[in-house]
Amino acid sequence: MSSRREAVLAFLITFPIAITAHIAAFAPGMYCRNGLTGDNNNSNDPVAPLYELSQSDWWFQHSRGCDAHPPPEDEFLELPAGGSFTVQHANNQAFSSLSYGGSLVTQWPDGGNHPDDWHGDWDGAECLPGGGWMHAQNESMAQGTAFAIAYESDLSKIAMEDLVVFSVLAHTPWHTTANYQVPAALQACPAGGCTCAWLWVPKGCGQANMYMQGFKCNVTNVDESIAKPLAKAQPAKWCKDNQASCVSGPKQMIVFNQLEGDNVNGIPQYETPVYNDACGFKAGAQNDIFDGSAAPAHTTTTSATAASTTSIKSTTVSPSATTVSISATKSINTGAHPISNPTSGASSMSNILSSTKSSADFSILPISTSIISSKTPDASSNCAAPTSVVTVTVTVTATSLTPDATSTGTKSTSRNGHKRTSREDWRTWKA
């Protein structure tokens, strides 16, 4: 054991108040790093649970003052869209990498060493010996922790429905290292960053309380082609014995055993609301939290007729996917006008998709006709045909109002037996 480790452990043994607590998530971007004084490597200020408090007091740990100690302006917990991020669960900052160069970190949140199958007596049915801060009997009984995000940096401007649970880690807290998955469709944060909260509601082995800890966070690696806004969060409900009754879509943090704000109904006696299937939270990234993303998943192949001279052909719709391809043919009567008549422009194809939008199969897709355009045929050929046929293949991205950089369209025009076909990048087409 290093001399530094011996010295620090001696200090913690001499002053046990420094380690008498529960668990928090330690990482860059956290509020209350280094404690309320700002220079305490042995801080447990963000660790204590929340119990029977008013909403103004439990909200981001206001009762202990942590909400008034944000991280430095340029420090964030980084959330890579479609990837994962890591925090350390510990019952004191000393046992995280934020203190003493990480020299006191072990695989356990208390900086100790425990058996790989650490469990309580009676085949794991009793609480962990000496591990009351873990609120569990064994790893399988660890109820799960979560992270939520709000697209606002000012804590006073965040409402419950704005703070959306986006990641759940099953059977935690347990080991020190904790990796949380991030939904791929998260949007970039506004200037000043987002606000995140680490969340936990344990079951048994101590007081029935809850945990909420603040972070400044920032979404990175954003893919603008699939990024979506969050929908408003709804309270979860107890659904352990009836999964069909679980609340789907974005959910609020769980508020439990507080003077104000408890938000989960139907909890049986001797149970607690938790971040797992019992309250409708699936492990991993929560991919159903986006505006319009909670539609039932199925795939349909259909043909439809929008008008007597318009047909939608070979259309496959997958509501669980982000794109739909539509092959549409429109016959346009140009009368005695030259084929260069601009009536074969964007408005014609708009009519096709406008009628398509009314189909139930497409109702989940925010199809925008503003992205559809066509290129007027060459004006040098002035054959007076009664009609011009325009065929366009369109790929509509559910979250984008501009064509993908690689999207192409095929336009075919016919008149008096002469045929012209061109294939061009959609970005160069003009109405």
Mean predicted confidence (pLDDT) in 378-390: 35
The pLDDT of residue 73 is above 70: yes
CA 176 remoteness from chain centre: 23
pLDDT, greater one: 409 or 250: 250
The span from the CA of 96 to the CA of 245, in Å, is 40
The span from the CA of 302 to the CA of 403, in Å, is 24
Give the pLDDT of residue 5. 53
The span from the CA of 128 to the CA of 390, in Å, is 72
SS3 (DSSP) at 394:
strand
pLDDT-derived band at 186 (thresholds 50, 70, 90) equals: very high
16 CB-contact burial (10 Å; exposed 0-12 / middle 13-18 / buried 19+):
exposed
According to the per-residue pLDDT averaged within each range, which of 18-27, 314-323, 374-383 is highest?
Answer: 18-27
> Who contacts 355 (Cβ-Cβ below 8 Å, separation ≥6)?
304, 306, 307, 310
Mean predicted confidence (pLDDT) in 366-386: 34
Mean predicted confidence (pLDDT) in 397-424: 34
**Terminal-to-terminal C-alpha distance of the chain:** 74
Report which of 412, 415, 353, 344 is spatially closest to residue 381, judged by C-alpha positions: 415
Give the pLDDT of residue 21. 54
The span from the CA of 102 to the CA of 165, in Å, is 29
- Express each pLDDT in 295-318 by its tens digit: 333 333 323 323 333 333 333 333
Domains and CATH numbers, the chain: 3-285 (2.70.50.70), 300-428 (no CATH)
Lowest mean per-residue pLDDT among 63-67, 134-138, 191-195: 134-138
Mean predicted confidence (pLDDT) in 274-284: 97
The pLDDT of residue 158 is above 50: yes
Please tell me the total number of residues recorded for the chain in this structure: 431
pLDDT-derived band at 407 (thresholds 50, 70, 90) equals: very low
Contact 166, 176 (CB under 8 A): no
| pTM of the complete model | 0.67
Give the pLDDT of residue 134. 87
Q: Could you identify the residue written with the tokens 């199969």? A: 361
SS3 (DSSP) at 137:
coil
pLDDT-derived band at 203 (thresholds 50, 70, 90) equals: confident
Cα angle 408-412-416, degrees, rounded to a multiple of 5: 170
Contact 8, 104 (CB under 8 A): yes
Amino acid symbol at 42 = N
Contact 236, 251 (CB under 8 A): yes
Lowest mean per-residue pLDDT among 73-82, 218-227, 261-270, 421-430: 421-430
401, two tokens: 């109002």
Lowest mean per-residue pLDDT among 39-53, 249-263, 370-384: 370-384
Mean predicted confidence (pLDDT) in 120-138: 80
pLDDT-derived band at 9 (thresholds 50, 70, 90) equals: low
Lowest mean per-residue pLDDT among 71-75, 168-172, 260-264, 331-335: 331-335
Give the pLDDT of residue 179. 98
Lowest mean per-residue pLDDT among 216-220, 251-255, 290-294, 397-401: 397-401
DSSP code, position 205: S
The pLDDT of residue 387 is above 50: no
Distances (CA, A) of 9 to 24, 89, 100: 20, 18, 12
Lowest mean per-residue pLDDT among 13-17, 71-75, 144-148, 283-287: 13-17
Lowest mean per-residue pLDDT among 45-54, 173-182, 385-394, 421-430: 421-430
Give the pLDDT of residue 131. 78
Amino acid symbol at 334 = T
Mean predicted confidence (pLDDT) in 100-116: 95
Cα angle 289-188-237, degrees, rounded to a multiple of 5: 20
* Residue 15 parent element (H or E): none
Amino acid symbol at 331 = S
What percent of the chain has pLDDT above 90?
A: 55
- Express each pLDDT in 49-63 by its tens digit: 999 999 999 999 999
DSSP code, position 91: S
Q: What is the DSSP string of 322-384?
A: SEEEEEEEEEEE-TTS-TT-GGGSHHHHHHHHHHHTTSGGGTTS---GGG----PPPTT----
The pLDDT of residue 208 is above 80: yes
Report which of 199, 213, 195 is spatially closest to residue 256, judged by C-alpha positions: 199
